[in-house]
Amino acid sequence: MNESHVFDPKHVAVLESEDRKTWQNPEEILELIDLNPDYVAVDLGCGSGFFTVPLSRKVKKVYGIDVQKEMLAFLEQKIQRQKIGNIEPLLSVKDKIPLENESVDLLITINTLHEIPNKKRLSQRYEGYSDQRDRQ
Ligand SMILES: C[S@@+](CC[C@H](N)C(=O)[O-])C[C@H]1O[C@@H](n2cnc3c(N)ncnc32)[C@H](O)[C@@H]1O
């Protein structure tokens, strides 16, 4: 399957709904990951930052990466409103990721893989960005 549907920014309210926290609570889910306060993390397909912001409270820095500048604009609004200093929104072009090799410790991607046509190629590229390749 080569054609993937990319999320329509007009529907951002769906991602931000209070109801979502009842079945997909970022705080509870992030508790399940072994997070280190020194980590540099990536939220791939960060959208409006539903997971990016809670993650930023638990690690040193988060790159919020998305292919749509409209989605990054929603994230930027949150950063400004909440005066968050450790999230950097980054625009990517398909599977070209704007990061240096071996510059991140952790990658999360939530509700996004179904939008990525060539997952194998993307995961191979991301392997180069991690400095902890032996970690699961
Ligand atoms: C359904 S939204 C989920 C957003 C967020 N992760 C959440 O759970 O609220 C999927 C997001 O992935 C982004 N996206 C799609 N393909 C991508 C790709 N190849 N690289 C980075 N982001 C991508 C879309 O622009 C959209 O913001």
Tens of pLDDT along the chain (136 residues)? 445 689 999 999 999 999 999 999 999 999 999 999 999 999 999 999 999 999 999 999 999 999 999 999 999 999 999 999 999 999 998 667 778 888 999 999 999 998 987 776 666 666 666 655 444 3
pLDDT in the model for residue 118: 72
97-134 pLDDT, tens digit each? 778 888 999 999 999 998 987 776 666 666 666 655 44
Q: Which residues sit with their C-beta closer than 6 Å to ligand 1?
A: 6-7, 15, 44-47, 50-51, 65-68, 71, 92, 94-95, 110-112, 115-116
User: What are the extents of the domains in the chain?
Assistant: 9-126
Fold for 9-126, please state it: Rossmann fold (3.40.50)
Query: What distance in angstroms lies between residue 90's CA and the mean position of ligand 1's atoms?
Result: 12
User: Which DSSP string corresponds to 81-128?
Assistant: HHT-SSEEEEE-BTTB----TT-BSEEE--S-GGG-S-HHHHHHHHHT
